[in-house]
Amino acid sequence: MMANLGHIIYPVLLICAFFGIIVLAGVGCAYWALIIFDKRMRKCPHCHKIGGGDVTESAMIGSKNYMDFKHQPPIRVTVKTYEEHYRCQHCGHTWIKTAEETVRNLVKL
């Protein structure tokens, strides 16, 4: 009885281990890609070093609200504009980037 059970369990365990390794590799690759993306976003425009920029200050410089009636029910849209000040770790160059964040919420009627 146990011999028959072993013929079933071992292949299942091997398949589970294989898919577990694939999932772990996928998570690792996604994490690595996020780190590379973050470093490229902080590339110094002066010395071109990747990951050289550190955020020294961040502030919201504007916000606007409007209703999007193209959808039913309508959607309330909030757009926030941020200004981020960077300083390069390598050459000391400073620069400013602006970014927008859009939040959409359904309106309850």
User: What tens digit of pLDDT does each residue of 56-105 get?
Assistant: 999 999 999 999 888 788 899 999 999 999 999 999 999 999 999 999 98
User: What tens digit of pLDDT does each residue of 1-47 get?
Assistant: 455 676 778 888 899 999 999 999 999 999 999 998 888 888 999 99
| Under 8 Å between Cβ of 89 and 52 | yes
- At 92, list the tokens: 């000391």
What is the spatial distance between Cα 71 and Cα 69, in angstroms, rounded to a whole number?
5
pTM of the model: 0.63
Q: Where are the domains of the chain?
A: 2-106
Task: Tell me the residue type at 80.
Answer: K
Task: Tell me the residue type at 48.
Answer: H
